[in-house]
Amino acid sequence: MDPLETPIKDGILYQQHVKFGKKCWRKVWALLYAGGPSGVARLESWEVRDGGLGAAGDRSAGPGRRGERRVIRLADCVSVLPADGESCPRDTGAFLLTTTERSHLLAAQHRQAWMGPICQLAFPGTGEASSGSTDAQSPKRGLVPMEENSIYSSWQEVGEFPVVVQRTEAATRCQLKGPALLVLGPDAIQLREAKGTQALYSWPYHFLRKFGS
């Protein structure tokens, strides 16, 4: 880390780990960096060492650290969503940060204070406070016109696709199973009930960064 680089936010987070099939939360000292000449936009963390804070008045040092530095590149971020159904440490709220490689379940005392800045760095110029929504009728702000991007220029040629949700950890967490309908709309992809019009989830196109992952 460049000593001249200053995090835009730092503090305590909790990160869930699975060891021998058992879930546990580890307290980490996290630092959120914006992209610039010194490095890419990222969320760095170290496991907090037992025994308290670092040198008095040295906020950049944070609590004692141990182990290796963990880095989440925000350019690889796919979504940042609340995880209200998760059991997390007392007086904290959980949120799920998903990248193209894996999902990171985090918890913070004031989770929106972390989710907001992370979304602003991961999805610049969208005008969104969050990277996704289960509300199909949420306000459409900062949308990029689809005709400006050749990737989406053919969305009107197709419409609805019957699909079957595979059994994965993500599907279980989202309480999804069985047949469903994937609908391509003008601004987003929707997953609907197989026999109905209710939207279960919605993914705005401007948050889809890579295909086939």
Looking at 93-204, which runs of residues are DSSP E strands? Answer: 93-99, 103-108, 160-165, 178-184, 188-193, 199-204
**How many angstroms separate the CA atoms of 191 and 189, rounded?**
7
pLDDT, tens digit (0-9, with 9 covering 90-100), for 199-213: 888 888 777 665 544
**How many angstroms separate the CA atoms of 162 and 80, rounded?**
27
Identity at 135, one-letter amino acid code:
D
We find that the CATH architecture of domain 157-207 is: Roll (2.30)
pLDDT, position 96: 92
For residues 43 and 72, the answer to whether their CB atoms sit within 8 Å is yes
Sign of the torsion angle spanned by Cα atoms 66, 14, 133, 118: negative
pLDDT, tens digit (0-9, with 9 covering 90-100), for 3-19: 568 899 999 999 998 87
On whether the 9-51+64-122 domain is CATH 2.30.29.30, my answer is yes
Identical fold, 9-51+64-122 and 157-207 = yes
Segments making up each domain of the chain, as ranges: 9-51+64-122, 157-207
